[in-house]
Structure 1
């Protein structure tokens, strides 16, 4: 590369990074503004509210937020991360402080569900469960004119005396968990994204920096506190309700409301993390090859090829509409920091260091700092969507996927404020089944899998349908390309799925039957299948 081109790309990098920073700041500011409008129910006196909401008010004083409580209601609605979910306005929000009060709320909702069932009318979801509220799927954790069960008061972080486990409330944010555990010198196998809630990530799977050592986040849950459809509170573990314990490892909210998780923990230690930023214009082909070759080698069973301290590499292509350019961002982590703070030998021996870049940083830092820097997401209050698919480690399919991404961003180049990350992450067979058994359907995983996901933000409401349909079409095109190359795979990483996707179809018949059986045992009338909106439901041929 000539010095003139080097200068050009360096200046371009600074422009890109500055533009992204400015855009993020503007979006953050926008996210702080009121996002909802008063709803007609705000003027309805309590005696005119639906009977089940009046029952909630009577039996749970101090736990119900009505629309007439304008400021508190506004703040509660804005707990949803994506702007489009802030525009879905519930009738009320239930914020219980303990499992017994939540059990009362569930009993009232079950009574309403039974009444509707007996009336013979079709039942549409009339309540939702919110942990962190970050998933941008429409109605993922909120419901129009219904009841939102807000778990934000379940936020305690309590280490066991011997430090082997930590009990964490389902409404806690991962960053708060890590900060609290810093005081104890501990860390848990948990999420990498600071504002994400514990509940949704842990129930749907979850990948950690420590997954190569311990497996999925869900496979490191020792026990659960669960409120069932009849309002009772039970503990599920390997020895008590073991069938419920297993299906909660990937089965989401299909069986009850989890209020607390007891998670496996370990002594905290600094980790090494690096980020490489490069221009996509002439580095995308090399980046894809390096990524493909790394996965191929790491799953080759050659001595030393798989290193349980090496977190799965993340390769992102990011299109920034404001300047019409694509960037490459590569994130690497190693959980056993080298004493000299230089690149670990594992990563030195890959092709990643050879990529030309205009920004490259590495540091030895605490787990908390790494999550704060490494795991940022779209700012709160932005228009936001995502979606995912899975392919096998096939270089031709990866190149085809990148070409589809480029075509999609060309079609969306006039969408104001568009930031379109297109991300490759990995599941290696060396860790796919570590930890306690789960129902994700990867029991026979013998080859590396690539999770492809999009996490797209934009500015204007008028572009909602266009962007969302473009993301869906992109993923469908990638699936078609993968099938043509025999590199498709049915697994879908549920944490990145959006509302139209069906992740349980990739869990395998045996696991689906386990989940269906547990649902019929613990929720025989289908309260969480039919009365609860959001999340992903099991497919029953008859109910």
Structure 2
């Protein structure tokens, strides 16, 4: 009975949960944290609100949610995924229904930015842009006592008549996109976990199950509709505003607010999905070797070594404070499911199959089902943070990084509710530059890279600073260990970066130059550099 209970709890509470945490930053059930309480401006008369907020109320009536409307405001605040961001209380939340209303809102924010610029004092961010709201970076898509532009109503999903493209609103969730496309027999390159939103993932890079065939998600956007700093609305494509089109492929929201994306689509086909769970105590070295050897082989010039139907394997070591154990989770996907539904030959021939596991499953399922499974145990509302770095495929560096992770779990083992996945994901040279050119800085890379990601959830606010400082120090230690072996790499997967990280430093001087020139052309007064709170900036000197 004990073994059966352990198996049931582990499979139900870990396999799905760990996989969800691996791919994108998850939380535990709502209700575990005290409700966020609006404050300060709730009782302020409208005429005493800042002038620019009064202007927003006048110009786009029905779109501005004030703290005084407690229920609606609370619901809007709770759209942020991580609890710590729900505790950052804006003055108001602007939820435009269409591009025209968003254009008016941006024009008013620009007026406020210009007014502050005239004083000569440094401008601190007074508005934030939120599409999916999933990134747990502190203040990533919200701002204390400022304005949050909430894009959640930009959620349309419109396939082209010939099925070759799909236009998707920036505020849509990927799971909703896939459900609409299921009915049309289509799929797009997009997020791998259901809570993730379209805007942030697509503008910052994004990895899809189909990346080995088509590259980063950002490199599959054919065009963008963008509201610029002056309030004008433009389309950016390879033939219209091509410099803007290029820098939006990894440049995030530094140039304007994207309202929709036109993405390449392809006919639907079922996926093969395999999962394994194993104890880490006596399997970690074997798992690391299997991962290293797979990347080494897949990036070699041997015939058939690289398979564009094999999504990057995801290997995670997960420490679970409640049971005081560390487990291994392996997640494999093959986008051309075998007719017999058994393990694809590509995965059978890897060292992964030799890992002993107490849970192993494989299933042929729809893209939507695979994404839903990874998000099934990912309700919003707990404290969460992430962080990332990148290393080359060096076995000793992988082992050193794992040892540092183990030391970190020892330091944090007393933190109540700690769930701590430490994840390896691959970027192979066979796909990293497929699709349209981007500004990620991987143009000259000819070797496999490993994205190391941390994703941590915990229960109590009193542990916030400890967790944040410990994870930051852990990443610094891994970087130092990699540098000592000359296996470090400057690229940072922006979708997993925290607010204190500087991903643009790894994009290369030429890409930085392209982005800064585009910023100066489309946002000459720096609205999205100094007026926008949160996100990653281009470090442009104020003009």
**How does the TM-score come out when normalised to structure 1?**
0.96
1:190 and 2:190 correspond: yes
- C-alpha separation in 1, matches of 2:147 and 2:27: 32
Counterpart for residue 306 of structure 2: 306
* Deviation, structure 1 residue 172: 0.1
- C-alpha separation in 2, matches of 1:84 and 1:424: 26
- Mapping 1:188-267, distance limit 5 Å: 188-267=188-267
Counterpart for residue 441 of structure 1: 441
* Deviation, structure 1 residue 38: 2.7
* Deviation, structure 1 residue 525: 0.4
* Deviation, structure 1 residue 539: 1.7
- C-alpha separation in 2, matches of 1:20 and 1:447: 33
- C-alpha separation in 2, matches of 1:311 and 1:22: 18
Query: Quick check: 1:35–1:78 contact (8 Å CA) kept in 2?
Result: no
2:194 is paired with a residue whose SS is: coil
* Deviation, structure 1 residue 30: 1.9
1:431 is paired with a residue whose SS is: coil
* Deviation, structure 1 residue 377: 7.3
Pairwise CA RMSD: 1.8
Counterpart for residue 66 of structure 1: 66
Deviations 1:288-308 (A, max 9, x none): 000000000000011000000
Counterpart for residue 146 of structure 1: 146
- C-alpha separation in 1, matches of 2:4 and 2:253: 47
Q: Which runs of 5+ in 1 are unaligned?
A: 1-6
* Deviation, structure 1 residue 135: 0.3
* Deviation, structure 1 residue 120: 1.3
Q: Which has the higher contact order (CA 8 A, sep 6+)?
A: 2
Counterpart for residue 168 of structure 2: 168
- Mapping 1:265-414, distance limit 5 Å: 265-374=265-374, 378-414=378-414
- C-alpha separation in 1, matches of 2:337 and 2:13: 33
2:535 is paired with a residue whose SS is: coil
Query: Quick check: 1:203–1:249 contact (8 Å CA) kept in 2?
Result: yes
Query: Quick check: 2:27–2:383 contact (8 Å CA) kept in 1?
Result: no
Deviations 1:171-201 (A, max 9, x none): 0000000001001000001110111110000
Query: Quick check: 2:27–2:82 contact (8 Å CA) kept in 1?
Result: no
* Deviation, structure 1 residue 20: 5.2
* Deviation, structure 1 residue 17: 4.4
* Deviation, structure 1 residue 27: 3.2
Deviations 1:325-371 (A, max 9, x none): 00100000000000000000000010111100000000000000011
Query: Quick check: 2:38–2:74 contact (8 Å CA) kept in 1?
Result: no
- C-alpha separation in 1, matches of 2:100 and 2:126: 21
Question: Relative to structure 1, is the Cα distance of residues 189 and 21 closer, same or farther in structure 2, using a 3 angstrom cutoff?
Answer: closer
Query: Quick check: 1:408–1:470 contact (8 Å CA) kept in 2?
Result: yes
- C-alpha separation in 2, matches of 1:16 and 1:342: 24
- C-alpha separation in 2, matches of 1:265 and 1:219: 13
- Mapping 1:409-420, distance limit 5 Å: 409-420=409-420
Question: Relative to structure 1, is the Cα distance of residues 50 and 420 closer, same or farther in structure 2, using a 3 angstrom cutoff?
Answer: same
1:45 and 2:68 correspond: no
- C-alpha separation in 2, matches of 1:44 and 1:412: 43
- C-alpha separation in 1, matches of 2:530 and 2:312: 37
- C-alpha separation in 1, matches of 2:274 and 2:13: 22
Query: Quick check: 2:17–2:374 contact (8 Å CA) kept in 1?
Result: no
* Deviation, structure 1 residue 26: 10
* Deviation, structure 1 residue 35: 2.6
Counterpart for residue 179 of structure 1: 179
Q: Which runs of 5+ in 2 are unaligned?
A: 19-25
2:282 is paired with a residue whose SS is: helix
Higher mean Cα deviation, 219-228 or 115-124?
A: 115-124
- C-alpha separation in 1, matches of 2:50 and 2:105: 15
- C-alpha separation in 2, matches of 1:376 and 1:71: 27
2:357 is paired with a residue whose SS is: coil
Counterpart for residue 4 of structure 1: none
- C-alpha separation in 1, matches of 2:447 and 2:17: 40
**How does the TM-score come out when normalised to structure 2?**
0.96
Query: Quick check: 1:16–1:323 contact (8 Å CA) kept in 2?
Result: no
Deviations 1:50-75 (A, max 9, x none): 00000000000011100011111000
Deviations 1:232-280 (A, max 9, x none): 0000000000000000000000000000000000001101001100000
